[in-house]
Structure formats: C-alpha cells, structure tokens
C-alpha cells in the first residue's frame, strides 16, 4: 500500500509542473509522501524517498531518453540505462528527507526541520555534479499567491513554504486538531486567491526597447546539415532586412553548426546590417585557442561574445570524460565536447540598457544572473528541438518565468522550434510562439524597472533559515541525549 501511495505521490508531483499545471497537486503529492514515510524506520524512509524521487525524475525528465535515442544514436537499451542512472544520481540528495523521526509524535516546530531537509536536498541537487535544477518544487508555483515571494526570497523559499504548508496540512488531519484544521482551510482558501493585487512592474518611466524574436522551426537534422547552410542563412538574412527598425533582432541558440569567425562569408551580412542604432543577437558556436564554445554573439557597432558557462551533461560535454570515454565516443552529437565560458563575463549593453545573457540550460541557475542596473533586460536563447514533443520545452519555459519573477525583469526568450516567449517581470507571458511553428514576435518592453530584493541578496536568507533549523534540531537532540544519560 505504501508503494502505491509513493507512486501516486510521484505522479501528482510531476502533474503540478507545466504543461499540466495542476499546481495544487504538489500539496497532495507531499501529503501522500509524508503519510507513506510515517512510522517507517530511518533505513526504510530513505529507501522510500529514493523510490519517490527516482520515479519523479523518470517521469518528469523522460525527455533525456528521447534526446539520446533520436540524436545520440545510442540505441534504446543504452539510452534507457543512462536515463535511469542519471535519474538515480540526481535523486541521491533526497536521502536527507528520510532522516527525520516522526511527524505525529513531534510538535509543529519540528515541521520546520523537515522542510529544511527537503529544501537542502533540492539545493544540493542544484549544485552537485554540475547541478541539475529541474523539477524543484519552487518552479511549479508561478501564477499563485507565491508570486509575492519569488522577488523577495526566490524559488527555494517557495519550496520551503510549500513543503511546510503540506506538512501542516498532513499533521492537522493526522492529529484531528480542530484549530489546526481550521487554519489549514484558511490557508487553502488563501492559496486559491489569484495574486491579482500583486504587481512587480514598478516601471520608473517610459523607457522601452523594440524587439523582433524569430523562431525558425529548424530541427538539428537541418541546422547540422552543411547542404542546407546557405538556405538557412538566407532565411535569417531575410528576417534581418525585414526588421531593420527593431532595436533588437534575436535569433535562437546555435542556428547552424559552423563556428563563428569574423572572416567567414556566412556571417559577413550579420556584421554589415547592424550599427549603434540596432543590435542582432544570435546563438552560434565559436572557437578560441582550439576550444569550442556555445556562444551568444552580439552584433552592433562592435561584436561581443558571451560563452555559455553551464553546459548540458552528455549533450554538450561528457562528465567524468576519462571514465566514460567509450560512451563519449558513441555519442553521435556534433560538437558535444564543448568548453565552459569564464565565470566572470564582460558587460554587454545596448545604449543605456544592460543585457543579461542566458543560454538554454543556464536559465535554471539564478546565480548566473548578474543584475547590476535598474535599466536592463534578460535575453534567453535556447534549442529545445533536441527534446521534441516532450515535457522539456514547457518545463523550460516555466523555469524561465520563475527567473523573471525573481529578478523583476522582462525576459525575451527565443528558441529554434518552441516555445519562444516574451515574459513580463511578474512572470506572465505577454506573447509566445508554440512548438513546431515558424514565426516572429514583435513589440516593445519597458527597460527601467526597480531591482528586486532577491537580485541583491539571492538565497542567503533561506539558506540561513535552513542552517538555523538544522542547528536548533541538532542542539535539541543533543540535549535530550545528554539528559537521558544523566
């Protein structure tokens, strides 16, 4: 029966994220999880949590398997094996959740300790092995009452509050405490209140920038085919010539597989059609000192290059390369052994506007966003074509919406095959182009908006809360142990 509860919990967990967006399911998911863990030994709790987390990641990141089969040429068995092992590895930090004793036999303050364990597990998953910040609880709650929390404390704080609320619900029902049940009902009503009164805009004046975002609907089979390079570049040049009045024209990640050089004829037109009154932003590979990079190139009166800092494991580099040399050789993905860009990046601006670059996977790492001005926008280019008609493009868009909320910034997101979008600083989507559709988005967005508290202080407050929760619990246990020995 507990295995059934854990399975239901995992399914509900995934359904709370995009494209399903049954956001309230996350509370039922966690309630089922804690019900399944109650009265188990620490050893069995850890086993149960691993099962829960493994199933969540197998269901929620099945697109990894799609990419390995369709573009990695690994075959079904090896692809399934790699996907399973990857899901298992990123599930390991969740063993921390199994370290608590009991919910029913402890007071409500103990719930803070359990919530801290959960968020610490998420935090470790986001930094270990290069980091994989996917399916974090806090990424599921955009468009809810928690929209007020993101720009102050960030998504980990939302994770903490969701886990704590779920624990409170579970304990209230388990204890049959009428007062607790009443407050649980009030919390539920408050949750369903649309944050209609909340607005992050805080626009200081009418400073705007005009944009043209182009989604070409070109899959890797085409962009990596040298026979189609001329046709593809002709398509991009047509878009440039049709939109010369836009301040920014933005193309997606790695539009063709030829590495950028200033001398290459393919890119001469990009350099000659821009000046200090407009800017072309596009994703290309670049080469420097025999190293290849996944880059965002900025063409204006001068050319600037941003090299991607967080690479996708197995897609852009092979982790533990020497140990997995045979696997690396079998991966049939062109330019899949890239180098990371430097941690410190050159400031990129258009006029008075600071432009913060994010390439694909980097949008899952808020620490990479260096907000330094009240007049700035975020540009996110991506190539989710690798994942086809899977959950990945929807999940990726949702994560990018969270970044807009946290940093109180407009985001211009452009992808090869979808989903491209203009995202407001309150996380709402202004306009988008769906999957597998060619199209453009044109308009204007404000650029001068007050910085958020989170952009100044990041995750420091929630990490301090977790630290003190763990410290206080540790001191309480040590005190009880000491008293028992007397």
Q: What's residue 17's pLDDT?
A: 98
Q: What's residue 65's pLDDT?
A: 86
Where is 305: in which H helix or E strand? strand 303-307
- HSE at residue 319, side-chain half, CA atoms within 13 A, is 13
What is the C-alpha to C-alpha distance for residues 384 and 418, in angstroms, rounded to an integer?
7
Q: What's residue 332's pLDDT?
A: 56
Q: What's residue 66's pLDDT?
A: 85
What is the C-alpha to C-alpha distance for residues 367 and 11, in angstroms, rounded to an integer?
30
What is the C-alpha to C-alpha distance for residues 472 and 475, in angstroms, rounded to an integer?
5
Q: Are the C-beta atoms of 74 and 324 separated by less than 8 Å?
A: no
pLDDT along the chain (486 residues), means of 10: 92 98 96 92 94 97 86 80 92 94 82 96 92 95 94 97 92 78 75 60 71 95 84 92 94 91 80 83 91 94 92 68 53 69 89 94 93 90 89 96 97 95 96 95 94 95 96 86 70
Angstrom distances, CA of residue 144 to CA of 110, 152, 199, 341, 399: 26, 15, 12, 36, 15
Q: Where are the domains of the chain?
A: 2-198+460-485, 208-451
Written as one string, the DSSP assignment of 188-240 is HHHHTS--TT-----B-S--EEEEEEEE----HHHHT-GGGHHHHHHHHHHHH
Quote the pTM value.
Answer: 0.92
What is the C-alpha to C-alpha distance for residues 46 and 31, in angstroms, rounded to an integer?
17
Where is 359: in which H helix or E strand? strand 353-359
What is the C-alpha to C-alpha distance for residues 170 and 6, in angstroms, rounded to an integer?
15
Q: Look at the block and give the residue holding tokens 């539920």.
A: 188
Architecture in CATH of 208-451: 4-Layer Sandwich (3.60)
């Amino acid at each position: 029966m507990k295995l059934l509860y854990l399975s239901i919990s995992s399914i509900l967990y995934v359904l709370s994220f995009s494209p399903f967006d049954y956001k309230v399911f996350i509370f039922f998911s966690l309630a089922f999880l804690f019900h399944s863990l109650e009265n188990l030994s620490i050893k069995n709790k850890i086993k149960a949590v691993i099962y829960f987390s493994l199933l969540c990641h197998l269901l929620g990141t099945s697109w990894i398997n799609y990419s390995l089969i369709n573009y990695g040429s690994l075959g079904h068995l090896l692809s399934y094996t790699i996907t399973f092992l990857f899901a298992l590895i990123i599930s390991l930090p969740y063993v921390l959740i199994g370290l608590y004793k009991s919910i029913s036999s402890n007071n409500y303050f103990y719930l803070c300790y359990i919530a801290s364990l959960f968020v610490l597990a998420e935090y470790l998953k986001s930094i270990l092995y290069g980091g994989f910040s996917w399916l974090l609880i806090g990424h599921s709650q955009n468009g809810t009452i928690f929209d007020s929390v993101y720009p102050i404390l960030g998504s980990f704080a939302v994770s903490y509050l969701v886990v704590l609320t779920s624990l409170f619900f579970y304990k209230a029902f388990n204890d049959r405490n009428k007062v607790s049940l009443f407050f649980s009902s009030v919390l539920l009503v408050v949750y369903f209140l649309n944050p209609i009164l909340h607005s992050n805009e805080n626009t200081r004046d009418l400073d705007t920038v005009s944009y043209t975002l182009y989604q070409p609907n070109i899959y890797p089979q085409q962009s990596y085919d040298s026979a189609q390079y001329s046709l593809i570049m002709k398509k991009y040049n047509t878009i440039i010539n049709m939109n010369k009045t836009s301040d920014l024209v933005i193309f997606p990640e790695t539009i063709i597989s030829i590495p950028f050089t200033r001398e290459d004829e393919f890119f001469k037109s990009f350099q000659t059609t821009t000046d200090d009154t407009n800017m072309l932003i596009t994703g290309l590979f670049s080469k420097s000192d025999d190293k290849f990079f996944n880059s965002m190139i900025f063409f204006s009166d001068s050319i600037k290059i941003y090299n991607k800092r967080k690479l996708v494991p197995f897609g852009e580099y092979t982790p533990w390369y020497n140990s997995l040399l045979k696997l690396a050789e079998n991966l049939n993905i062109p330019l899949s052994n890239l180098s990371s860009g430097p941690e410190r990046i050159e400031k990129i601006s258009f006029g008075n506007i600071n432009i913060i670059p994010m390439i694909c996977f980097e949008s899952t790492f808020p620490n990479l966003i260096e907000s330094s001005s009240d007049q700035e926008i975020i540009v996110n280019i991506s190539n989710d074509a690798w994942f086809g008609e899977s959950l990945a493009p929807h999940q990726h868009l949702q994560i990018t919406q969270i970044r807009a909320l946290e940093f109180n910034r407009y985001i211009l997101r452009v992808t090869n095959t979808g989903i491209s979008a203009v995202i407001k600083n309150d996380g709402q989507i202004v306009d988008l182009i769906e999957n597998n559709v060619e199209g453009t988005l044109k308009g204007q967005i404000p650029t001068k908006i007050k910085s958020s508290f989170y952009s100044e202080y990041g995750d420091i407050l929630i990490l301090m809360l977790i630290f003190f929760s763990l410290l206080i619990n540790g001191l309480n246990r040590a005190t009880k142990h000491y008293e028992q020995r007397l």
